[in-house]
A and B are shown apart, each in its own frame.
Chain A
Amino acid sequence: MLAFALRRLVQAIGVMLVVSLISFVLFRFVGDPVNQLVGVDTSPEERAALREALGLNDPVLVQFARFIGKAVQFDFGISYQFKQSVAGLIGQRLPATLELSFVSALFALLVGVPMGVYTGLYRDTWLARAFLAVSLIGVSLPTFLIGILLIFVVSVNLGWLPSFGRGETVRVFGSWTTGLVTASGLQSLILPSITLGLFQMTLIMRLVRGEMLEVLRTDYIKFARARGLSRRAINFGHALKNTLVPVITITGLQIGSIIAFAIITETVFQWPGMGLLFLQAVQSVDIPIMAAYLLLIAFLFVLINFLVDLLYVAVDPRIRIGEATR
């Protein structure tokens, strides 16, 4: 078990190194950071001096080694644009992204599971068909379009909810701010959460529906019926419970993508989280922020996969022996 964990840890570090190296190579094609840092009147000599001072003339590998050397000490440098420490900036923006991701995941589960159960149980009703049609929209429409549509219908035409931002936030501890305890904060969460969680919701719904259809055909459900258990007990106590294992797995894995895909939702709703910070950084070629963000996302995916692997090993002894198949 320990050997397995250690081996996975080494692999994880390797993956993160490769991700940051690739991102460093790509930064060369994003544009010239210096041009975004100075006004038009700044002379070419001064621009060249600034480029030299920022170390942008060094070979990619040298820049990369410098970045990694500092990153292992949790020093991600100072943002070119914001002139604040990158670690501090990400720390300020992280709560917004995590809250949004958490509420989206909650929305996806709380709405997706019941809809999945319903469409699984009552396949031919018009409501089930309507749910399926909605889910088709969730899968096929791009996130930014859903976001803009929601803004124009709910905020502009109906005037029910705020069109952008996070509303009023309260500082909880350190740099952690929350919008979960204020009225405007909760209102502001609704549209972005729906936008971000819609895809996951439809995924979960279709997954639950498929699993339900499968499980309802199995022998033990038939036995349960034969024993004369109530429909309710069969559907929820036996059928749904057995569908939840894959749902939990998928949800866990999707949390990584929710956080990563928050970039688009955050841009559409001007949600002040990490994704918006990253997009602003790309537009202004703010290399320290881009490098730190990509490393963080890589870490997140690696961490989730690592945990899932460990869980599998704990749950299913058959996976434990990777060597056996080798």
Chain B
Amino acid sequence: MTARPMRVTAGVAVRAAFVAALVAGAAGAAAAQEGDKTLRFAFQGTLNALDPYSLNETFTLGMLGNVYEGLTKRDKDLTIIPGLAESWEVVDPLTWRFKLREGVTFANGNAFNADDVVFSADRVRAENSDLKTRLPADAEFVKVDDHTVEVKLKTPNPILHYEWDTWYIMDKEWAEANDMVDPVSARDTSPRPAAFTANGTGPFMIDSHEPGVKTVFKPSESWWGTPEHNLDTVEFTPIAADGTRVAALLAGDVDLIDPVPVQDIPRIEANPDTEALTGPELRVIHLGFNQFDDVLETSDVEGENPFRDPNVRKAFYQAIDIEAIKQRVMRDLSTPVPLLIANELFEGSGQFERWPYDPEAAKQLLGDAGYPDGFTVGMDCPNDRYVNDEAICQAVVSMLARIGVTVNLNAQPKAQYFAKVLAPGGYDTDFFLLGWTPGSFDSWNVITNLAGCRDETGKGGPFNLGGYCNEEVDALAARIVEETDTDKRNAMIGEAFEIMTSETSHIPLHQQSLVWGKRSNVDIVQRPDNQVLFYWATVN
């Protein structure tokens, strides 16, 4: 009997505490809104180790780009601008000279100089780095004086500095003092605490970092540039569930979310305090064919590989109604493209056009190839990697059914999908959907990775899942990489794309769109590479 009154008291106390908390919380939130400018940002993925050479991934590098800086930077329209290098000149095709910015300090107060650049050049090419491709392996970095560095190349390289905006310069002394000389990797056998702190030259500093939970950024007082933002604090939280992320924006618990599922855009637009920010992304979604194996495992065609016939590939291409995919599947948030590279990234892309949608012509082509009644083939597709990836594949399946081709779709999560279709899985796919953004923003990356002749292990064209191979394209790629004359180079790139298009090496589909959601009082620049850069954000 004595227990009863006590339990009641406990219940009342809990309820009282909740009510008190509600009132206090509401007051606290109001106070926070008036005073400092805080940007609360939620993304679908997590920010883990802060070592800038551990993971070559857009989101991580973008977030670190608020804290670290490269010798070059990219502007709001992606043009290359000076970063930690004030200027540079190509002395001769094999020698580049970089003049470093003076008076720059790292967050810990150390001065930035040529030693840091040479150190970072060695570190980014060290065994455990995931960003080795940022610099040529055989390039030599020479300190001329404290603020001049020369790069000696073995072969000419016109796009040497294209990816240097995400090759972040680290402080040599800090790395040596904090056990950070080797890049942090999954191979490490003991934890590296310094990997969860950062010491960059950039406009923000990491105030606190709890991987997978919350990261707080504060503006750096000692930054060399003039801030364009008006922020006092940035709070980053990963929110993996789409519904929760959208709800958090609508409820006013965050100010910026990335990405917004396309079906939620109307809801965000309907709310007076929030809006959607959309723009084309550089990623190109395409379909590819297995042209490597003599027989397709998933097909009923025996004794030959139908995809080795360019007519079959072109028939597939012309059977796909890209406008229907754009309107129905992508809700108008896609840009159909004629090439495997985004329109913005290749000057000559305007001269190319897609093969027209023409199911009759497609049927004719299939007949010419000897398959008037079509055939059966399996298709692999991720269902959580690209915008509406599975829905695109389903649309493709139904469109191909109209020309008599039966496609058995196997859509699965990206972890399983990539394990199957990439080199470790033995490129086990006959027909697939893949997205690609060239890290260097340059066509050569696309041509070699997606269309370079490869062997079983992927040497030559690691992401050429279908094993398309044309010696002429390979020969052009070898010349493109060394050609320093822009016009000649672009002409050769155009020639390579011309060959690929005429043979229908792949089926380019579209550039998907970036969709961010933000509160109306937030202004931020949305760059097509999907980096989220706070130094261009203002909260009004």
Residues of A bordering B, CB below 8 Å: 29-32, 34-48, 50-51, 53-54, 78, 80-85, 88, 92, 106, 110, 148, 151-152, 155-156, 159-160, 162-165, 183-184, 186-187, 190, 236-237, 267-270, 272, 276-277, 279-280, 283-285
Q: A51 to B212, Cβ gap below 8 A?
A: no
Cβ B186 vs Cβ A83 within 8 A:
yes
Contacts of A272 in B (CB 8 A): 210, 212-214
CB distance from B44 to the nearest CB of A (A): 10
How many interface contacts (CB-CB < 8 Å) are there between A and B?
180
Q: Mark the stretch among B238-246, B284-292, B514-522 that contacts chain A.
A: B238-246
A163 and B212 contact, CB distance less than 8 A:
no
Q: Which one of B17-25, B115-123, B395-403, B466-474 is at the interface?
A: B17-25
- Taking a contact as CB atoms under 8 Å apart, the answer to whether A283 and B21 are in contact is no
Q: Which of B212-254 contact A (CB under 8 A)?
A: 212-214, 237-241, 243-244, 247-248, 250-253
Are A43 and B462 also in contact (CB < 8 A) when A162-B253, A280-B46 are? Answer: yes
Query: Given that A30-B416, A82-B211 are contacting pairs, would A38 and B130 also be in contact in the complex, using a CB cutoff of 8 Å?
Result: yes
Question: Once bound together, how far apart are the Cα atoms of A284 and B189, in whole Å?
Answer: 19
Beyond A48-B457, A270-B238, A270-B239, 14 additional contacts (C-beta under 8 Å) are A31-B413, A35-B418, A40-B56, A41-B56, A42-B56, A44-B457, A47-B423, A51-B424, A83-B191, A148-B243, A163-B244, A164-B239, A268-B243, A270-B244
Pair B188/A163 contact, Cβ less than 8 Å: no
Given contacts A31-B418, A270-B240, contact A41 B424 (CB under 8 A): no
> Which among A37, A156, A280 has the highest number of chain B CB atoms within 10 Å?
A156
Are A39 and B131 within 8 A (Cβ)? yes
Of B47-55, B71-79, B341-349, B524-532, the one with at least 4 CB within 8 A of chain A = B47-55
- Interchain nearest-CB distance for A98 vs B (Å): 16
Chain A residues, Cβ within 8 Å of B189 = 78
Query: Nearest chain-A residue to B55 (Cβ)?
Result: A39
By a CB distance below 8 angstroms, the chain A residues around B356 are none
Interface centre among B21, B28, B436 (most CB of A within 10 A): B21
Name the residue of chain B whose CB is nearest to the CB of A264: B241
Please state if B4 and A32 are interface contacts (CB–CB under 8 Å): no
Q: Which of B405-426 contact A (CB under 8 A)?
A: 413-416, 418-419, 422-425
Q: Counting CB contacts under 8 A, is B379 at the interface?
A: no
Question: A31 to B25, Cβ gap below 8 A?
Answer: no
Q: CB < 8 Å: which of A156, A187, A277 contacts B251?
A: A156
Contact at B56–A54, with CB atoms within 8 Å?
Answer: no
Min distance, Cβ A108 to any Cβ of chain B, angstroms: 13
Q: A38-B130, A51-B424, A156-B247 are in contact. Are A82 and B237 (CB under 8 A)?
A: no
Partner among B24, B196, B424, B457 whose Cβ is within 8 Å of the Cβ of A183: B24
Q: What is the CA–CA distance of A279 and B244 in the complex, to the nearest angstrom?
A: 15
B-to-A contact residues, CB < 8 Å = 1, 4, 11, 14, 17-18, 20-22, 24-25, 28, 46, 48-49, 54-57, 130-133, 184-192, 195-196, 210-214, 237-241, 243-244, 247-248, 250-253, 413-416, 418-419, 422-425, 436, 439, 449, 457-459, 462-463
The reply to whether B186 and A54 form a contact with Cβ atoms under 8 Å apart is yes
Cα–Cα, bound, A32→B420 (Å): 9
Question: Does B56 contact A183, Cβ atoms closer than 8 Å?
Answer: no
| SS class, residues of chain A in contact with chain B | helix
Given A78-B186, A78-B188, A284-B415, A44–B462 Cβ distance below 8 Å? Answer: yes
Chain B residues closer than 8 Å to A35, beta-carbon distance: 415, 418-419, 422, 424
Report how far A53 CA is from B187 CA in the complex, Å: 7
**Is B415's CB under 8 angstroms from A31's CB?**
yes
Is the CB–CB distance between B415 and A81 below 8 Å? no
Please report the C-alpha to C-alpha distance between residue A115 and residue B248 in the assembled complex, in whole angstroms. 32
| Alpha-carbon distance A54/B424, docked complex (angstroms) | 14
- What residues of B have a CB within 8 angstroms of the CB of A82 in the complex? 48-49, 211-212
Give the nearest-CB partner of B425 in chain A. A32
Instruction: Decide if A39 touches B11 in the complex (CB within 8 Å).
Output: no
A74 to chain B, nearest CB (A): 15
A-B contact list, 12 entries, CB within 8 Å = A43-B462, A82-B48, A151-B243, A156-B251, A159-B252, A163-B244, A183-B20, A183-B28, A184-B28, A186-B21, A270-B237, A279-B240
- Kindly provide the distance from the CB of B372 to the nearest chain A CB, expressed in whole angstroms: 39
**In chain A, what residue has the closest Cβ to B11?**
A110
User: A270-B237, A270-B241 in contact; A155/B415 too (CB < 8 A)?
Assistant: no
Do A39 and B251 touch across chains, with their CB atoms under 8 A apart? no
Given the known interface contacts A165-B237, A268-B241, A284-B415, the answer about A41 and B133 at a Cβ–Cβ threshold of 8 Å is yes
Neighbouring B residues of A88 by C-beta, 8 Å? 191
B462 CB contacts on chain A under 8 angstroms: 43-44
Closest to A81 in B: B48
Given A44-B457, A270-B244: A32 touches B419 (CB 8 Å cut-off): yes
| Contact between B251 and A155, CB atoms less than 8 A apart | yes
| B50 CB → nearest A CB, Å | 10
Nearest chain A CB to B277's CB is how many angstroms away? 20
What are the residues of chain B within 8 A of A236 when measuring CB–CB? Answer: 4
Chain B proximity of A27: nearest CB distance (Å)? 11
Choose one: A83, A155, A190; the contact of B192 (CB below 8 Å): A83
CB pair A48 B424 closer than 8 Å? yes
Which among B189, B190, B213, B237 has the highest number of chain A CB atoms within 10 Å? B213
Q: How far is the CB of A155 from chain B (nearest CB, A)?
A: 4
Instruction: Name the one of A36, A39, A43, A183 contacting B415, with C-beta atoms under 8 angstroms.
Output: A36
Across-interface contacts of B17 in A (CB, < 8 A): 186
B251 CB contacts on chain A under 8 angstroms: 151, 155-156, 159, 162-163
